[in-house]
Amino acid sequence: MALNAAQPGFATTVAALRLRSWKLGASQPMDVIDQFTDADFTRIVDDRADVHVSSRDGRFYLGYFPDGRPGGADGDWVTGEGWVIAVTGTAGVPGYRMAFGTDTPAEIVAAVVARVMATSRPL
């Protein structure tokens, strides 16, 4: 980082900070949902317009909650949780759950879903 020691205080340049532009905003949820085929997954859109996707064997779940997920610890809404991905474990290995906020870019969630899907295989 460029520093001018002759001047009192701290000084730098934008170039030295290496500022970046980052993807922000929820974007298009279909980037995530379109990854699931009708042959292998069931999709349900409920009366709140939340989308639920599950694998035919029931071990994979994806929930999309544009206004926040219902059913928090106090029975109210989990307002910041917009995406939930869960994989059920087995008798010997525990499963896992991931959650993303309502403002998480769909491209980020889509990349995570693609990676999770890449780890699955038919038995």
Q: Which residues of 41-61 are buried (b: 16+ CB within 10 A; e: fewer)?
A: beeeeeeeebbebbbeeeebb
Q: Which residues of the chain have pLDDT under 70?
A: 1-11, 72-79
Q: What pLDDT is recorded for position 10? A: 65
Name the pTM for this structure: 0.79
Q: What pLDDT is recorded for position 12? A: 74
pLDDT tens track for 10-23: 667 777 777 888 88
Among candidates 92, 93, 96, which has minimal Cα distance to 116? 96
